[in-house]
Chain A
Amino acid sequence: MDDISSILYESAQRLLGDLSERVLAGQALTDKDRADGWRRIEEMGLPVALVSEEAGGFGFSDADAFGLVRICGRHIVAWPLVETMLANRFAVENGSEPLEGPVETLGELTPEQREAAALTRAVQMAGALDAILAMTISHVQERQQFGRALAKFQAVQHSLAILASEVAAGQAAADHAVARRAQGGDGATLAIGIARARIGEACSKAAAIAHQLHGAIGYAQEHRLHLYTTSLWKWRDEFGTQAWWTQQVGREVLASGRDAFWPMVTAA
């Protein structure tokens, strides 16, 4: 990551953080808020973050562009920003101009496009897991029960240790798939399948623990937690369900058989 991308990361973090603050569940944005928010996103150039420099993008490496997607995952906003990023990428790859956003749905995708979208979702999930972990840590440090912070209870500490471990594993799998895709070659599809299988499971466990530790407070619509957990429950099964991706990985492993197993692990 160079200076330009790190400056852009910071600005995106600030803008999306600010826009994300305004999304409170059950509270619809006015049309004006909606239009203003999207205009600010467009001014920063985020909708074309995944397209080439010639087509108006930042000219980021794939790895840096995915860094931006991860930031998008950390901030749930009212606009389909990541969907628009993907739609623009596919449009440009097909020789068209970037689209007038925001783009709500992607429509029919080719297998290659679906794979790119699946990986993008995995990275977005990694970002949302960052947010869920941070949110849960602050909650247990602030919330007092029985005269002390929840964080002081060993049962709570151990639940959070599991949450942090799942988050770390899911993110490691997503990071690796990004690196594999950047390398090119045959391994990318398998790495994306592994990432979707692993991070999907991490999302289930993380969401369950985060809700448990937030108590009833986190189950109320006015709390932000559900913006993340409901997103994860959706994303983990989009562009190929977790079950489908996991089965693809297993099919390949079982087709290769016992003697090929360990070499397959070290090559993955």
Chain B
Amino acid sequence: MTLLTFPPPVENEATEALRTEVRAFLAEAIATRTPLERAESWNGFDREFSRAMGARGWLGMTWPKEYGGHERSAFERYVVVEETLAAGAPVAAHWIADRQSGPSLLRYGTEAQKRTILPRIAAGDCVFCIGMSEPDSGSDLAATRTRAERQVDGSWTVNGTKLWTTYGHEADYMILFCRTSGTPADRHKGTSQLLVDMKATPGVTVRPIYDVMGQHHFNEVHFEDAVLPPDAILGTEGQGWAQVMGELAYERSGPERFLSSIQLLLELIGTLQGSESVAAQTAVGRLFSHLVTLRHMSRGVAALLEAGEDPTVHAAIVKDLGATFEQDLPDIARSLVDEEPDLQSTSDFAAVLAYTTMAAPAFSLRGGTREILRGIIARQLGLR
């Protein structure tokens, strides 16, 4: 009768000792980072920081040692991920690789692909970007038109355009989702994933797309007769859809789906600290209760992952509730504090409020829109 139970998280002394270690490291490593910079959350990019994380063994944590991993549990990885996010550390240079590209390579990659790339990711020395969305294929991923044609010598020629490619301009590799046979009308059939060396593939052009804040995270990646070697195929030709769904399960499952506004929440607490106002106490009590509950649910998703179970629906619930929580925060903050939002302000609250207000619309778009997530939940309930 209970349809969606989240398993209780597993706590032990090892994870809590690790937490102390990560906090001590972060206190020093990002001491000079301003609240406004911290508010960038997982968009903050710093290769040096990622290398430092790698040097401590905090990337590729759950992977086998023979590929540079550390064979630690999903819960230990969770601790590192949530602590870096809560602190507002610049994690973008390792984020996508550690979260989804590495696990996909581990699952589907050839021995050679795993040996060349995974140790570099674990060292914090390899940036990945995602090659899913296209001009005519956003939420409707199966409508992909980018095409890789196999040549007589076994190599692949790629034509098409990928869009909203976060840090495509910095990336060393992309996992490209595209069509390798048939037409867009064939939907899921005839799609594959290919590994693209972003630094050494002729015919690949990366153009910036600026967001509403004028920041450059997104790109348009254009493939014009770009040639990939025969061994660029990731996993099985024609199995792209199943593989990309597995990759999305990793992309949607983490605490970044409810911690994007944490810096604003911290500034709000700092501003209201010690307040005796009933309105302030009630609003903060509600936010805290939501946050703590989301975290319990999210750690339940980590428990499902650790147990080898499919976390798709649980992750969709956490991401949908999490995005709503993150997006509600700016309005709640401005209803409690009489300060104008201003990116240039010397008040951290005012600057972070301005930033988070403008960042918020993306929270329910990236990694699967709200509408897609609700469709996934409805399917689990037996409605579709």
Q: Which A residues fall within an 8 A CB radius of B?
A: 74, 130-131, 133-134, 137, 140-141, 151-152, 154, 156-158, 160-162, 164-165, 167-169, 171-173, 175-176, 179, 193-195, 197-198, 201, 243, 245-251, 253-255, 257-258, 261-262, 264-266, 268
A residues within 8 A CB of B294?
169
B377 contacts the other chain (CB 8 A) = yes
Main secondary structure of the interface of A (DSSP, over half): helix
Our count of residue pairs bridging A and B at CB distance below 8 angstroms stands at 163
B157 to chain A, nearest CB (A): 39
CB atoms of A140 and B383 under 8 A apart:
yes
**How far apart sit A257 and B382, CA to CA, in the bound complex (Å)?**
45
CB atoms of B266 and A254 under 8 A apart:
no
CB atoms of B286 and A255 under 8 A apart:
no
CB atoms of A250 and B1 under 8 A apart:
no
CB within 8 Å for A160 and B378 given contacts A74-B1, A249-B289, A254-B273:
yes
CB atoms of A254 and B274 under 8 A apart:
yes
CB atoms of A164 and B8 under 8 A apart:
no
CB within 8 Å for A169 and B286 given contacts A134-B1, A253-B269, A258-B270:
no
CB atoms of B2 and A171 under 8 A apart:
yes
- Count, chain B residues at interface, CB 8 A: 54
B354 contacts the other chain (CB 8 A) = no
13 examples of A-B residue contacts, CB within 8 angstroms? A134-B3, A152-B383, A157-B374, A161-B374, A168-B297, A172-B300, A173-B289, A176-B293, A197-B286, A246-B289, A249-B285, A253-B285, A257-B269
CB within 8 Å for A258 and B266 given contacts A249-B285, A249-B289:
yes
**How far apart sit A74 and B1, CA to CA, in the bound complex (Å)?**
9
B375 contacts the other chain (CB 8 A) = yes
CB atoms of A265 and B292 under 8 A apart:
yes
Contact of A197 among B5, B262, B289 (CB under 8 A): B289
A residues within 8 A CB of B359?
none
- Count chain A CB atoms within 10 A of each CB in B269, B278, B297, B371 and give the residue with the most: B269
- Interface flags, B274-309, vs A, CB<8A=1, else 0: 110010111111101111111111001000000000
CB atoms of B293 and A164 under 8 A apart:
no
CB atoms of B86 and A262 under 8 A apart:
yes
CB atoms of A179 and B377 under 8 A apart:
no
User: Which 6 residue pairs spanning A and B have beta carbons closest together?
Assistant: A250-B285, A250-B281, A249-B285, A157-B378, A258-B270, A197-B289
B272 contacts the other chain (CB 8 A) = yes
Contact of A169 among B265, B293, B382 (CB under 8 A): B293
Contact of B274 among A179, A198, A257 (CB under 8 A): A257
B164 to chain A, nearest CB (A): 24
- Interface flags, B75-87, vs A, CB<8A=1, else 0: 0000000100011
Main secondary structure of the interface of B (DSSP, over half): helix
CB atoms of B382 and A258 under 8 A apart:
no
**How far apart sit A172 and B267, CA to CA, in the bound complex (Å)?**
27
- Interface flags, B257-270, vs A, CB<8A=1, else 0: 00000100111011
A residues within 8 A CB of B382?
137, 141, 151
CB atoms of A249 and B6 under 8 A apart:
no
A187 to chain B, nearest CB (A): 11
A residues within 8 A CB of B300?
172
CB atoms of A173 and B296 under 8 A apart:
yes
**How far apart sit A71 and B144, CA to CA, in the bound complex (Å)?**
48
Contact of A164 among B266, B284, B317 (CB under 8 A): B317
A207 to chain B, nearest CB (A): 17
B residues within 8 A CB of A154?
375
Within 8 A of A (CB), among B1-22: 1-6, 8, 19
CB atoms of B1 and A249 under 8 A apart:
no
B141 to chain A, nearest CB (A): 18
**How far apart sit A168 and B301, CA to CA, in the bound complex (Å)?**
13
CB atoms of A167 and B4 under 8 A apart:
yes
B321 contacts the other chain (CB 8 A) = yes
Determine the residue in chain B with the shortest Cβ distance to A250.
B285
Determine the residue in chain B with the shortest Cβ distance to A13.
B1
CB atoms of B274 and A164 under 8 A apart:
no
CB atoms of A254 and B8 under 8 A apart:
no
